[in-house]
């Protein structure tokens, strides 16, 4: 039973301007189990947007799909 799995994590470059410090990371996970020719038994993926920070204020957002 072939298993396909994919993980990508990308750190976006920091762009300091007007005293704003920003650090962002995008992560994409994808997994699928394939039976026979092209039948997909399970697909799992999630997308994360992490760590957005402005001076004394920070936002953490995580969205998951499965």
d(CA 4, CA 36): 14
Percent of the chain beyond pLDDT 90?
0
Hunting for tokens 């799995």 — which residue is that? 5
Most confident of 22-26, 46-50, 55-59: 22-26
d(CA 30, CA 53): 27
Instruction: Please count the residues of the chain.
Output: 66
Q: Is 58 helix (H, G, I), strand (E, B) or coil?
A: strand
- How confident is the model at residue 19, as a pLDDT? 52
- How confident is the model at residue 9, as a pLDDT? 63
d(CA 12, CA 24): 5
**DSSP for residue 13:** P
User: Is this structure's pTM higher than 0.85?
Assistant: no
- How confident is the model at residue 31, as a pLDDT? 56
């Amino acid at each position: 039973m072939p298993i396909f799995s994919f993980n990508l994590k990308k750190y976006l470059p920091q762009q300091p301007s007007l005293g704003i410090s920003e650090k962002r990371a995008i992560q994409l996970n994808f997994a699928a189990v394939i039976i026979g020719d092209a039948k997909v038994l399970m697909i799992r993926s999630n997308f994360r947007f992490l760590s957005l920070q402005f001076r004394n204020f920070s936002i953490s957002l995580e969205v998951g799909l499965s």
